Structure 1
Amino acid sequence: MTSVLPRFLRAATAGCVALLAASCSPSLRGTHGPSAADVGPRTSLAPASWSAQSSAGEIAVWMRQGCQRPEGSRAACVERALTGLIDPAGIAKSMEVLDTLVATDEEVRRNAHALAHGLGISAYRSPETAAATFAGCTPSQMSGCYHGVIQGYFLAQVAQGRPIGTPQIDALCEPHRSSMFLFFQCAHGMGHGVMALHENHVPMALEACDLATDDFIRGSCYGGVFMENIVNVTHPHHTAEGHAGTQGQHAAANPHAGHQAQPADAHAGHQAGSADADAGHGTAQAGMNHGEWKALDRNDFQYPCNAVAEKYRTSCYTMQTSAVLYFTQGNLGAAARACGEAPLEHRDTCFSSLGRDITAYAAQNHQRSLEFCGLARGLAEGMGEVWCVASVAVNFVNLAADPGEGIRFCGLVRDERAKTECYRSVGQTITSLENTASGRAAHCERAEPAFVDACRRGAGIQPAGTD
């Protein structure tokens, strides 16, 4: 952790765990996903009536019609068809079609982030083209496409037996350094990738993150590791290895990678450990532990954060409520209480994790999200609800890549302390989307007049009238 901004970026990105669907279906295998010629016979789609120049709406209509009565799962039909768009139409158009389908199809909406991950993995071709492919993704669907491209890179390196060390890790995200948002998405995706590299062994994956010489890359990579650790248990089909198995993309060296690798129950996890409470925790300083690793513990809501070295714990707590909610079947009150019992120095991060997950449980409804944060009222000496509210606002901004969503949410908040923190946090998030002070100021001007300065402080610019 080198600043507050990376924490909020990580918290927002981690929200995909709560949004992931619990199921997905096998897709057609191929070198880089199905070719355009393969799409019709396997999905019952009519011959393509579109070209690369066709609008996303036109392609989406063709896809909806063809996947109404597919040969097998409709979700699998959509996934294969979307992947089949990559070569003829490009990754950006494929994502635009996904966004169009999300707006009209509830099943696609539930699977959207996972589909975006799969598209990114399938779009990856080589280290030489990775930067261009990554830049061709879009930030919609919680940036899943970006993460998928980076996962594809690591899956390919593993499959081809290529070494990955400091030079490779330092170079991977360097082309995106000029954009804080893209630089973070790349570094976060690296955490997902090194988990595939080390077969979901968290301590070894964290040590791989430590190979980076840049503090920001390391911290962002840690967050990806802990996120993948939870996804590996709660939604094993949506891990990097799961997507590789379903799409035939650069399968990892692990011969068990794929859909049938693990059951989606409390015992899911890497073969070296499991989510079952009987598995051993390993040592308390996980950065040095290469033995058996246990992913999660249903009887200890502070684990695995209390089993890793201190330098990793903030990143761990950024994800922790997703684990608690998994084991408590979505009990937000239990998650709030677990955050109240977290170590003092990590409580704000844990309540930020809660706020992020709340947006998913509230189906991204602003008023319901605010009401759910009320479950943290009185915890952490009254700060639990404040931190939760601020995180909800940040997540709304990142979900839509639009500061206006966070500003609209902050307008609903009644408690002055929470409202101030809400607008300040939105301001912080604006810095990842807007590089210029004037642009940040323009966004903050949309806040309630009494709180414009709170937003500006968060955005790192002077109070109004002092520029």
Structure 2
Amino acid sequence: MKLTWRTGALTVCVLGVVAAAGLLSAHVFTTSSTPAGVRCPQDPGVALECYEQYYRSLVDRQGVAAAFADLKAEYPADAQMQRLCHAITHAIGQAALRKYSGVAEAFRHGGNACGSGYYHGVLQGVALTLGRTKLMSDLDAVCAGIPGKERKSLDYFNCVHGLGHAIMAVTDDDLFEALRACDGLTGSMEQNACVNGVFMENLIVDGAHGGHYSKYLRPSEPLYPCSAVGEKYKTECFEMQTSYALGVVQGDFAKVFALCAAVGVPYRVACYQSLGRDAATISLDQVPGTVARCALGTDREQQANCVIGAALDFVYYYHSDGQAKQLCAAVDAALQDVCRSTTAKVVGVF
């Protein structure tokens, strides 16, 4: 059974709004205060640019902490911001790279809100600064200064994962070219994390952010491009793709469990674990909804791997094992051991 804490990386996926083109949003902030006052148009075609300009300016004037405080204050009352939160934090990260001296310094000012979009934005800023040729010439150097490389820390993962987003930015979102570029990194963890970022970016660009559409998503084939990529990329693809598939089937978990079952060994495990992340995200990382959605699996393999994915997401979201332990206590008795062992294995990376 494959356990990867990166399953929690796509917290941008699924919250509230289900659309045929996809199911994309972000983990919410857990507390709120009085809205700070920014108002952008509700037209999806222009809203993102408005938010980006506002928060980039705020970073320039007051720093990253002020931008995140403002975003947190606005978030509860602004549905458009909730939908675009991950993309907004991309813009904050891009502005941070300009303000601070390099990737490592920008990372020290960051946070994991809205699916860790800030870190992805920092790396996209690197891509925009260096340009395609210079970025591709030495991919290993980009994250070399991030602490925790030896122990594969969350910050280091976020950096090499963010490289996948960055490579998509300089390849005009050409998924297959970006995947090949990730092969240029040294180390299997680095390559896999980069590939994970490529597949995540492919979902994010599907119209949910400023009318930006992917060439590599098909409503008639919800698990594409996983069905078309090379074998070495398939696990990372299936760890992401259920979020899109859920959008296509209007949030019907039973249907996506069935789609995953048809994938076959060994990739269906990643597919089921991806559904677990989605179950947690749609449930706002609350126990009852997560348990109920994972229970829609028709056999122990489906349910157990859904719980694994959910437990990973709980630890990632809360940066603690407390809520994951509550999840493990609430699932069926036959699933509790695997839930607890998953939680114990992943919590060390924080």
Q: How far did residue 14 of structure 1 move?
A: 1.4
Corresponding residue pairs, total: 332
Ranked by relative contact order (alpha carbons within 8 Å, sequence separation 6 or more), the top structure is 2
Match of 1:8 in 2: 5
After superposition, the Cα gap between the structure-2 partners of 1:428 and 1:356, relative to the gap in structure 1 and judged at 3 Å, is same
Query: Which amino acid in 2 is paired with 1:421?
Result: V
Q: Secondary structure at the match of 2:295?
A: helix
Are the equivalent residues in 2 in contact too, given 1:390–1:418 (CA < 8 A)? no
Given that 1:95 and 1:137 are in contact with CA atoms closer than 8 Å, whether structure 2 keeps it comes out as: no
SS, match of residue 200 in structure 1: coil
Residue number in structure 2 paired with 1:45: none
Taking the aligned partners of 2:40 and 2:333, their CA distance within structure 1 comes to: 55
* Deviates most, 364-373 or 300-309: 300-309
Seen in structure 2, the aligned counterparts of structure 1 residues 172 and 65 have a Cα distance that, compared at 3 Å, is closer
Letter in 2 for 1:164: L
- Given that residues 166 and 213 in structure 1 are in contact (C-alpha distance below 8 angstroms), is that contact kept between their aligned partners in structure 2? no
Matched, 1:224 2:197: yes
Counterpart secondary structure, 2:263: coil
Match of 1:406 among 324, 330, 345: 324
TM-score, normalized by length of structure 1? Answer: 0.65
| AA aligned opposite 2:161 | H
Distance 1:323 1:22, change over 3 A: closer
In the TM superposition, what is the alpha-carbon distance from 1:230 to its structure 2 partner? 1.8
Question: 1:375 maps to which residue?
Answer: 296
344-353 vs 424-433, which deviates more? 424-433
Letter aligned with residue 118 of structure 1: A
For 2:161 and 2:172, the matched residues in 1 are separated by 17
User: 2:141: which partner in 1?
Assistant: 171
Match of 1:355 in 2: 276
Matched, 1:394 2:312: yes
From the superposition, tell whether residues 327 and 165 of structure 1 become closer, same or farther in structure 2 (CA, over 3 Å). same
Please say if residues 92 and 138 of structure 1, whose CA atoms lie closer than 8 Å, have aligned partners that are also in contact: no
**Aligned partner (choices 65, 73, 85) of residue 92 of structure 1:** 65
Alignment of 1:44-443 (within 5 A): 61=34, 64-67=35-38, 70=39, 72-73=41-42, 80-102=53-75, 108-125=81-98, 129-158=102-131, 162-167=133-138, 169-178=139-148, 180-235=153-208, 237=209, 259=210, 262=212, 268-269=213-214, 274=215, 295-378=216-299, 382-413=300-331, 415-433=332-350
Indicate if the aligned counterparts of 1:139 and 1:401 stay in contact, CA closer than 8 A. Answer: no
% identity of equivalent residues: 28
CA RMSD of aligned residues (A): 2.9
Alpha-carbon distance between aligned partners in 1 of 2:115 and 2:297, rounded to the nearest angstrom: 25
Give the 3-state SS of the residue equivalent to 1:429 in structure 2.
helix
SS at match of 1:175: coil
Higher gyration radius (CA): 1
Q: Structure 2: how far apart are the matches of 1:106 and 1:232?
A: 19
Q: Which residue of 1 aligns with 2:14?
A: 18
Q: 1:22 to 1:410 in 2, by over 3 A?
A: closer
Shift of 1:420: 0.8
Task: Tell me, in whole angstroms, the C-alpha distance in 2 between the residues paired with 1:194 and 1:403.
Answer: 33
Residues 37-84 of structure 1: CA distance to partner in whole angstroms, max 9, x if unpaired?
xxxxxxxxxxxxxxxxxxxx9xx75xx3533xx474596666544333
| Inter-CA distance 125–83: structure 2 relative to 1 (3 Å threshold) | closer
SS in 1 for 2:284: coil
Task: Measure how far apart 1:96 and its partner are.
Answer: 3.6
**Distance in 2 between the 1:122 and 1:21 partners?**
29
Select between 342-351 and 88-97 the one with higher mean Cα deviation: 88-97
Q: CA deviation at 1:106?
A: 5.7
C-alpha distance in 2, partners of 1:340/1:310? Answer: 18
